[in-house]
Amino acid sequence: MVDTTGTGEPPEALTEVERGMWQAFRSGTVYDLSSGDQAVDDPHGGPAWGPERSVRARIVCWLLLDGPPALPGRVSALKLVGVQITDLLDLAGGTVVPYVEMKACRFEKEILLPEARFTTVRLVDCSIPRLEAARVHTEGDLHLPRCRFHKGIRLTDAQIGTDLLLNQAVVHRDRRGRSIMADGLTVGQDLQAEMLQAHGELSLRGAKIGVSLSLRGSRLANPEGRRALNAPQLTVERSLYLTPAGLGNPVLTSGTTPARGTRVQHFECLGGIRLDDGRFGDAVDLEQASFVMEHDQELSLRRIQTPELRFLGRRPERGRVVLSGARIVNLMDMAESWPGPGGLAMGGFAYENLVPRRSFPLARRLDWLAAATPEYNPEPYERLATVLRNSGEDADAREVLLAKQRRRRETLPLAAKLWGYVQDWTVAYGYRPGRAAVWMTVLWAVSAVAFSHADHPPLKGGGEHPEWNASLFALDLLLPVIDLGQDGYWKLHGGWQWAAAGLIIVGWILATTVAAGATRLLRRS
């Protein structure tokens, strides 16, 4: 069908409804076929729309690809409200210059936009069987808010110049179980998918977002698959938000803090999440997020890099949280958010600062490490001790290292385990040097009293010995290196010789422990 008039007037083959759309396109005005009855005008349900509200898809394509010139002083644009587009809308490979905006429209069949080029496209509150838009390119926005897609969206390798909006959209799964297939997607600014309902896997593998990716208040579900969000190697220049949205009028999203008393909708994910190797310029925010997983599913954050991880969601009842190899500057968390034993893995997890929300005592932090290491691994303990020491909490750092030794002890053979218990009970593996000093004081007092009853003839006669002093003699045996002038002048017999030898050995052990503890304290100061 070709316009042969040369004047821009609609061809005779158009229906009356299509003629109206033609003229509205030339003037750049809104072509509104809604009836004013909310129930009738609902594009997602209600009664069928007849010919009085229908236009053919090929006429829409004609206008967009090779439409008539605009009226003098006007800019041509396709702005439709309450219109039904019949047949297949195929703009694959085309270049569309006019502005496109369709609100509350129904599409009879899928929309094909592969490798098409647009300025800006806005489809708002429309009913669409499926959107095929692999490698589509827009100079401006692609807006799809409140639309319902019955067989998924494909945006593989698409390039969106500014914003991609999917707020309050409802997307059902395609034949492969995916709701949104957007691997390799590039968005110049924000990708907002707030209060999105995705019934199938949302795939963003290798996607690049120029500012932020917001899934505030969204609900992702993939009960028939392994993951609800599959986004390895995702790059977000600012922040990823998996946080609540306020349910009001208007809906409070995009960082707005709901007023007290406002009902909120939390981010909820039914299925696993994979963000492995992601790069996030500001933060990954999981505040109040809910993760409902099966035992074989994961919230996987392997090797992600971000200045801040806000792990403030609800504790997963099943599945695992995996932080292995992740590199974080600030870890903001709550004790109530972390899973229990067997539900956490963080080998090689590096973080520099802990910023706990609410009370997070050291005992619960040690439980956090134990949950992450069902089999003994020293690295998480050493990492936590380093972070605590760098923040000036030396006593807590020593407690963490003591807990590490106690976990290690359980992996040792019986003899080494028994020796470990002795070290723990006596000197706490050297991490409580004050305990060693107390033991030395007690042993000195006991041995002084004991040696006061010992038979102690001098080794040499003729008065070549000091005056016997049981207290100094016991202290001389107990303190290595230091000579108090008592040891070596007296001859002990029988059990007293063994007592003296034992006191010398214990003295060496305790003195070495005290010295090691003092050295650690001086090094940290």
- The residues, ordered by sequence, that sit 6+ positions from 143 with a Cβ below 8 Å of its Cβ are 120, 121, 122, 123, 124, 163, 164, 165
52: left (phi over 0), alpha (psi -120 to 50) or beta: alpha
User: If DSSP codes are grouped into helix, strand and coil, which group holds residue 458?
Assistant: strand
**Is there a contact between 162 and 143 (Cβ–Cβ < 8 Å)?**
no
Q: Which of 39-43, 348-352, 518-522 has the lowest mean pLDDT?
A: 518-522
| pLDDT confidence tier of residue 415, bands split at 50, 70 and 90 | confident
Q: Which of 24-28, 265-269, 338-342, 507-511 has the lowest mean pLDDT?
A: 507-511
N residues, the chain: 525
CA–CA distance, 212 with 73 (Å, rounded to integer): 38
**pLDDT for 521 beyond 60:** no
- Ordered by start, the domain boundaries in the chain are 46-248+263-410, 428-523
Q: Which of 42-51, 331-340, 432-441, 509-518 has the lowest mean pLDDT?
A: 509-518
**pLDDT for 94 beyond 90:** yes
**pLDDT for 1 beyond 50:** no
Kindly compute the dihedral angle of the four CA atoms of residues 372, 377, 381, 386, in this order, to the nearest 10 degrees.
-120
Q: Which of 194-203, 233-242, 244-253, 424-433 has the lowest mean pLDDT?
A: 244-253
Read off the amino acid at residue 451. Answer: F
DSSP state of 232: T
Residues 41-55 have a mean pLDDT of 92
**pLDDT for 181 beyond 50:** yes
Query: What's the helix, strand, coil split of the chain in %, to 5?
Result: 30, 25, 45
**pLDDT for 425 beyond 60:** yes
pLDDT of residue 500: 75
| pLDDT confidence tier of residue 25, bands split at 50, 70 and 90 | very high
Q: pLDDT tens digits for 277-304?
A: 999 999 999 999 999 999 999 999 999 9
pLDDT of residue 209: 98
CA–CA distance, 57 with 254 (Å, rounded to integer): 35
CA–CA distance, 110 with 440 (Å, rounded to integer): 84
The residue among 377 and 79 whose pLDDT is bigger is 79
Residues 35-49 have a mean pLDDT of 91
Residues 216-227 have a mean pLDDT of 93
Instruction: Return the percentage of the chain with pLDDT > 70, whole number.
Output: 86
CA–CA distance, 259 with 252 (Å, rounded to integer): 9
**pLDDT for 92 beyond 90:** yes
Q: Which of 15-19, 107-111, 259-263, 271-275 has the lowest mean pLDDT?
A: 259-263
Q: pLDDT tens digits for 351-396?
A: 999 999 988 999 999 999 988 888 888 899 999 999 999 988 988 9
The pairing of beta strand 208-209 with beta strand 350-356: unpaired
Mean pLDDT over the full length of the chain: 88
Quick count: other Cβ atoms within 10 Å of Cβ 150? 16
**Is there a contact between 402 and 428 (Cβ–Cβ < 8 Å)?**
yes
Q: Which H or E element spans position 292?
A: strand 290-292
Quick count: other Cβ atoms within 10 Å of Cβ 404? 24
**pLDDT for 4 beyond 50:** no
The pairing of beta strand 290-292 with beta strand 327-333: unpaired
| pLDDT confidence tier of residue 486, bands split at 50, 70 and 90 | low
Residues 466-480 have a mean pLDDT of 72
User: If DSSP codes are grouped into helix, strand and coil, which group holds residue 89?
Assistant: strand
**Is there a contact between 93 and 113 (Cβ–Cβ < 8 Å)?**
no
User: If DSSP codes are grouped into helix, strand and coil, which group holds residue 365?
Assistant: helix
CA terminus-to-terminus distance, the chain: 86
Of 204, 202, 267, 261, the residue nearest 236 (C-alpha): 204
pLDDT of residue 134: 97
pLDDT of residue 322: 96
Tokens 């090094």 belong to residue: 523
Residues 66-71 have a mean pLDDT of 93
Beta bridge partners of 170: 148, 197
Of 279, 348, 290, the residue nearest 318 (C-alpha): 290
Three-state SS for 379-437 is HHHHHHHHHHHHCCCHHHHHHHHHHHHHHHHCCCCHHHHHHHHHHHHHHHHHCCHHHHH
Residues 165-190 have a mean pLDDT of 96
Residues 331-338 have a mean pLDDT of 95
Residues 455-477 have a mean pLDDT of 68
| pLDDT confidence tier of residue 2, bands split at 50, 70 and 90 | very low
**pLDDT for 158 beyond 50:** yes
pLDDT of residue 5: 47
- The residues, ordered by sequence, that sit 6+ positions from 218 with a Cβ below 8 Å of its Cβ are 193, 194, 195, 196, 197, 198, 242, 267, 268
